[in-house]
Amino acid sequence: MKLTHASSYALHALAFLASQKTNAAMASHVIAEKRRIPERFLLKVLKPLVSAQLLISTKGPHGGYRLARPAKDITMLDVLEAVDGPIRGKAPSDVPNHPISRRLEAICQQSAEQMRRHLARIKITDLNGAA
């Protein structure tokens, strides 16, 4: 498995927010500075996390981002699929009805489902525990 920069930045941002003593809104420039993430890229990453209801965005001088629910209830799967889309197993084939093509497709789908189950067990709190 290979994480995209976007999903890695999203995981860093959520882990940072989870590590804070309170669930107060945190400005994006603070998150970017603390995790050494380019702020312009971070803003693009935070938007789908808000859309997926993993973060709450508050506007105004004391606004920023905060977790929409406890970090123990946010999984790595939630974050990756919010940022990069659903994890799917797909085998390219020029011969779609060939028995080998069908078997490869089934293997890829099984692998993706195993990955989804594994990522669903990893919580944002687990990321901070390993640091």
d(CA 9, CA 54): 14
Domain that holds residue 23: 5-85+123-129
d(CA 1, CA 38): 24
Task: Specify if 116 maps to a domain.
Answer: no
Number of compact structural domains in the chain: 1
Reported in sequence order, the residue ranges of the chain that DSSP labels E, i.e. its strands, are 55-58, 64-67
In the prediction, which pLDDT does 60 show? 84
- Whether the predicted pLDDT of 20 surpasses 80: yes
pLDDT digits (tens, 9 = 90+) for 39-95: 999 999 999 999 999 999 999 888 899 999 999 999 999 999 999 999 998 888 777
Task: Specify if 36 maps to a domain.
Answer: yes
131 versus 103: the higher-pLDDT residue is 103
In the prediction, which pLDDT does 65 show? 96
In the prediction, which pLDDT does 70 show? 95
